[in-house]
Structures are given as structure tokens and as C-alpha cells.
Structure 1
């Protein structure tokens, strides 16, 4: 393959022949179930015949991926490839915001929300081969009290499940669905105060999701109309519902029709403040956090260049 250079054309990029692209793969060795030695073999098999320069590094602790990605930007790599799940992708992507270094993804997580939203193949070899003929887009990022996320953040039932599920041995959609149904009948909705676009509303809610992308992961679509390039967050308020409605709601988040449900209320805004009485779990790209009793959400328009 001829060597390549990336050129910016109206927020969409294409590859033109000129000089070598420098790529670094950051691999989370504990994410997913696929053997990382196999992935490294596929990387070598696919990229060695090309003119792409690449390096491979591994993470060793929480936050290490962010440090490695920061080093990559300082060393002027063109692309950092996240080999891991949404947590690893989040760590890497936040270091690349508003830089000249792009993000690419080899999905290896249990949910793979951002990869699914962007149409990146979940098949490892196919995702690696995409690096040979990339297209680039600019996507939005978002923050919750300064903590970056790229898919969704939320409070209420989904955050409660995320916090409880984090310590469970079983993962994936089947395990998550089982645990969700188990907790469903004991969870108590709360009342929240939201401020956005110059107005204040108070809502009792089963959950409230703030969506930069359409889904949590595993094709669970909480915000099927979310646009990752519009500079807005979708505010998805699921109001308290009869438990008999639970199977229908679960089906609707899987087939992208949840917005048709009368218990779902949505808004769009680039900045939102949400307040609540007690300090309760919040999830950020599926990772549980404690952020106090109020959260300021902000969208960062066109924050990150991604190879898709």
C-alpha cells in the first residue's frame, strides 16, 4: 500500500498519498475475552505489508491509557488505536480532545457502545483492516462535572445497575439483562431538578440519561435519535412506570423505538445542570462514579477526530 497523509476537508477527512502515517496501538490486556496475542498477530499480518509505521503498548493500571495517549500526542503520532472496551476508549479519547491526533478503535469490550454507534466492525480483523483505508470524522465529547464521556452518562436506575453490576463476575448483555430485571422491582424512583436553556423543571424519574451517542452499548438504544456531531446532549427522562410495562420498555430500547413510549420524555441542550437530594451513583460511559448532589453536563462540539 502507498504511504499516506491525512487532509482536512470540511470536517471530513480522506487519505492522500504523500508520507507515512504513524500509529500506536494501546492495548488493555484485561478487556474482553479475545486473546491479545492473537490481536497482535493480526496487527502484524495486516499492517506489516503496508507503509504504515506502528507501535504497540499495553496498559498496566487504571488511568494508564490516558497517560500513554498523552505521550502519543506529544510524540506526534497521527493515530492512537484503542484496543479495549468503552472504559479504555474513554481514557484514551479524553487525552486526544482538541489535538491533531486521531482516535481509532479495535472493539474488545462487553458493550462497545461508541464503536457500535460509529459503525466500526466488532470483528477484530475487519476493524484492523479499516485502518488501511480510513475515513475521518469530527465528533462531540461531553463532560459531567469535568469528567469526559463519549456515549452516555446517567443517573437513576441505570447508574444504580452500573454500580452494582461492576462487581459481578458475569458480563455481557445476558448478564446485564438478568441483573436489570432482578433489581427492577425493588428500585425506587427519585425527584430531580434540571436547569437548561434558561428554564428549570422538576421531574420524578426512573432514570435520566444524557446521551452524546445513541446507546449504552450492546445495541441498547436509550437515545436512538442522538447525533454525535450536533453539539448537543439528548436528555432522556424515563418517568416512573408500572412494572407490567418493563418488558415493553426493554424491548423498545433494543429495537430503537423507546421514543414512542409515553413514559419517555426528551430534550436537547448543550449545557444542563441536574440536582438531587442525596449523593447517589452516576455512570459515565458505563463506569460508576460518585459526583455529589449536583452535576453540570456540557457538550464539547467537534472535540475529537475519529477514524471510522
Structure 2
């Protein structure tokens, strides 16, 4: 039986879709592989389409979109032999960046058909998975503002970030891990499975995707001038020389909201909130098979 690869495409322009289809067709013919392209048209649709692909015995399921689309499709592929492929077509493309998947369309499709695989860990929080990042504080408000604007690209990121800084109200959490506990009022509380957060920016440069741990960075309250200096260091991918920046790694942690109201958070570029007071964050080792660049 010939291999059949399913490509699930998030909303893109018709021009981009035609180019994508042509590139896939050319390389599928070269590798003698069948393919089907499915278009996701609403939030959660990619998850349904990935289920259809699995039911039809897909050889691989490829996410053509950003980190949110990748996350949706990955939910269906947890603990399955069928691998997840990625063609980065979002804004920041942090997940693809961590694994060295090219932003060039033709090169990214070639990675899929080359079929080099690895296993990656998967984080869990509030009955959801995260492949890349789980963020609280400024990170979550930034994602909320970015998604509300309906704009995309680096300039839209900058607008959303400065709006978030201007109106930011500090949350208050207690975290507990490995017989330790700490009370935090974070500007940033970011938990990551990967070494970048998009656009090649990183707050967790040493994170590994298959070590059974999550990397956490906690940034205390700092003034606007320190925030601007922090952004410069992040953009330049330099170590942040602030006493207000703390790091740790863990496999399981409990986070408790001490301020009242909801907990606002982001997962892989999508904003959520919950009224639960206390929740567990944990990682499960090598739960997802992934097609990546061999280099």
C-alpha cells in the first residue's frame, strides 16, 4: 500500500494555498507518495481533520500553519506511531524554529518527505497540552492583545507588547515543586519545552524538548527602562544580566492563584483563562513523534 500523507492547512490566502499545493504535488510525485490537503476554517477544526486523517490510516499528518494549528493537530497524535510534520506558515513559528524546520516553503516540504523522526515531550496544564510554551503574566496578556487585534507579523507583535506593558496588572501566584514553594508576583512567568518563543526570540535558551523536564523563567517586577533593556537582550539572544530573573527546571509543579479572579494564561500562542484556583503543570516524556530536519 502506498504511503498517504495528510496536510492540514490553516486559513491562508488563495495565492499561498495554490503555491503550497503545487510544491506538495511536485515533491509527492518525486517520492512516489499519495497526499490529501484539508483546509481548517475555524478554531478546533484542525483537531477534527487530524482525527479524520488517523481514521483513514494516514502515514503522517502535517500541520501547515502556526503554533496554535500545530498544537490542535498534535492533540490527536499523542502516543500514536503516526508522526506530526510541520510546514511553518504562522507568525512567530517558535515550534518549527526549535527543531530547525526551514521557513522556506519548498525546503520545509522536503523535510516532510525526507521523513527523519524524533520524539518530543509534551506538557499538560488545565486539561490541555502544550508543545512549546505555557505563559502567565505579561506573556498571556500580550497573546490576548495580539489575537484581539487580528493583525499578524512582527510589527503587530510590537504593538501588542507595548499595549500589554502599559496596562499590566501583576498577578500573584504560589508555585510548589519538589518539596519547594515560592510566592511570586511575576512580570513574566514562562514555562517552556523549547528553546525559543517565536521570531527566534528566547527566554529559555537551554530548554530541551526530550529531557523529561520543563524550563521556567520568572521575572520579578521591574521598571519600564529595565523592561526595554530586557527586550534588547532577548532580541539579541544574550543572557539577561538581571537579579530579577530566576530560572529552574521541573517535571511537575502546582500553581495556585493567590489574588482572586481567573488565571489568565497562554498555550502555544492561544489565550485562555480558568476560574480554577489551583492547577498542576507537568510534562510527559517523548509522547509525540515528530518529523524534523536531520541536521
Q: TM-score, normalised by structure 1?
A: 0.88
Indicate conservation of the 8 Å contact 2:86/2:112, yes or no.
Answer: no
Aligned match of 1:199: 180
Change (3 A) 1:259 1:272: farther
SS in 1 for 2:185: strand
1:270 aligns with 2:251: yes
Change (3 A) 1:220 1:130: same
Aligned match of 1:29: 11
Distance, in Å, in 2 between the alignment partners of 1:268 and 1:20 is 43
SS in 2 for 1:49: helix
Aligned match of 1:145: 126
| CA RMSD across the alignment | 1.8
CA shift digits 1:180-235 (9 cap, x unpaired): 12332432323210011122111221120110112221112121111111111111
Aligned match of 2:281: 297
Aligned match of 1:213: 194
Aligned match of 2:262: 279
- Matched residue count: 289
Indicate conservation of the 8 Å contact 1:66/1:95, yes or no.
Answer: yes
Aligned match of 1:95: 76
Indicate conservation of the 8 Å contact 1:224/1:257, yes or no.
Answer: no
User: Which ranges of structure 1 fall in alignment gaps of 5 or more residues?
Assistant: 1-18
Moved more, 66-75 or 189-198: 66-75
Distance, in Å, in 1 between the alignment partners of 2:83 and 2:177 is 31
Distance, in Å, in 1 between the alignment partners of 2:191 and 2:175 is 12
Q: Residues 17-56 of structure 1: matches in 2 within 5 Å?
A: 20-30=2-12, 35-56=16-37
Match of residue 230, structure 1, among 196, 200, 211:
211
Aligned-residue offset at 1:73? 2.2
Indicate conservation of the 8 Å contact 1:258/1:264, yes or no.
Answer: no
Aligned-residue offset at 1:34? 6.4
Distance, in Å, in 2 between the alignment partners of 1:75 and 1:170 is 35
Indicate conservation of the 8 Å contact 2:230/2:240, yes or no.
Answer: no
